[in-house]
Amino acid sequence: MSEQQTTQTCVHPDTLEQGSGAQRRKLLIEIIVEHHLSGNRSKLKLKDVADRAGISRQALDRYYGDLKPYIAGKRDVADLVNGNELRSQVQTKTAVNEVEAKYTEQIERLKAEHEKTLQKELDRHITSLMNSDIVLLESNQIRVSLERQTLHNADLLSQIQRLELKLALGVDANSSFAKETEASKNTKLVFDLDIEALCIDYQRGKNFDTFEDQKNVELRKIRDKLSKYANTSGVRVIFFSDRYISRFKLFADQYISLPKEVSLIVRLPLFSRSEIIAFTRHIPNTFKTSIYIPHFSGSESEKKLQRLGIYKSLLPPEEVKGADNADQPAIAWGFDEVNFFKINPGS
């Protein structure tokens, strides 16, 4: 009896596992299929499967080695199941897993490429910012240099304008006026408009629009010349509002500048408020402005005779009409002074 018990005790442990092999295999297959259907993307480990089945890792290798490819995901789990419904379920899950794996791989690849591209762009942007900082620093240095040069040029231009003015006035750049009376004679510049020449051109074609265009061109030239003296102190612009009833040269010759003022005497054959303001608004605001309007004291027939004696019937009729119906300038137009003076017949 004792000998028989000893024989039973010495039976190899694996024979116990072989005795329940069918149940163990079924359990192992259930574990594999369950894991497959769960959608868990992590791979099964042999040790974990053995532990869940209640057997050793060595027993799994020895007795159920044929299941290892299914555990490792190298073979189709559908081959392990019975029944069409369960097989179809496993096959569907396998297909889903394959698609997921495919797109997961693509997503990971795209993410890696995106991160690589992003890093490249970030590096480029940082480099660009560094270069921009360098350019900004250099441009700021250039700007400061240009500002200094501009100020220097402005100072030189101001000096040139003062010298040009003195030269135009016939005064030596290094001398001062000895007497105030001499100053009043010399401190004026005359800007005439050759109306007579424009009238001769008009007589060739009788085109008043061309006459007007040429007159405006000449007036713009005068306006630009006035701007050259913007930095000169004590400038007063004297506008002679030409009505074609007196001689501009006579007015300019007889005009006497105020003490300590430079007079820029301008012939202005403009007649409407809008035309005059459009011209004077371009005059530097540092200048004082005065306008002188001649008033004829005789009759209309005497006025025509006066005009005929000066211009010999060369003036366009439209220009004469504009002069006779001209708007009367006022302080509200922006002038510092508005002066009317009488013209006697025959003067």
How many residues are given for the chain? 347
Rounded to whole angstroms, the Cα distance separating 309 from 303 reads 10
Overall average pLDDT of the 218-244 stretch: 94
Pick 221 or 185 by higher pLDDT. 221
Residue 173 has pLDDT above 60, yes or no: no
pLDDT at 301 over 50: yes
Q: Of 198 and 99, which is predicted with more confidence?
A: 198
Task: Average the pLDDT over 100-110 and give the result.
Answer: 73
In whole angstroms, what is the distance from residue 265 CA to residue 293 CA?
13
Q: How far is CA 211 from the centre of its chain?
A: 42
Q: How far apart, in whole angstroms, are the C-alpha atoms of residue 273 and residue 259?
A: 31
pLDDT at 43: 76
Q: Percent helix, strand, coil in the chain (nearest 5)?
A: 65, 10, 25
What count of other Cβ atoms lies within 10 Å of the Cβ of residue 107?
11
Nearest Cα neighbor of 336 from 256, 255, 280 is 280
- pLDDT the model gives residue 226: 94
The two structure tokens encoding residue 179: 């007497």
pLDDT surpasses 80 at 8: no
- Amino acid making up residue 276: I
Residue 220 Rama label (left phi>0; alpha psi -120 to 50; beta): alpha
What's residue 211's pLDDT?
A: 95
Q: Nearest Cα to 195, choosing from 203, 185, 183, 187? A: 203
* Dist. CA 272–CA 148, nearest whole Å: 44
15 pLDDT more than 60 = no
DSSP codes of every residue in 279-338: HHTTS-TTSEEEEEEEEE-S-HHHHHHHHHHHHTT-S-HHHHHHHHTPPPP-GGGT-SEE
Question: How does pLDDT run across 119-136, given as a tens digit for each residue?
Answer: 887 777 766 666 665 666
Percentage of the chain exceeding pLDDT 90:
35
pLDDT (average), residues 9-26: 54
- DSSP code of residue 43: P
Q: What is the mean pLDDT of the chain?
A: 79
pLDDT at 28 over 80: yes
3-state secondary structure of 206: coil
Q: Which helix (H) or strand (E) holds 160?
A: helix 84-168
Put simply, whether the predicted model's pTM sits higher than 0.75 gets the answer no
CB 35 within 8 A of CB 44: yes
What per-residue string of b and e applies to 167-199 under the rule 16 or more CB within 10 Å gives b? eeeebeeeeeeeeeeebbebbbbbbebebeebb
How much of the chain, in percent, has pLDDT values that exceed 70? Answer: 70
Three-class DSSP category at 193: coil
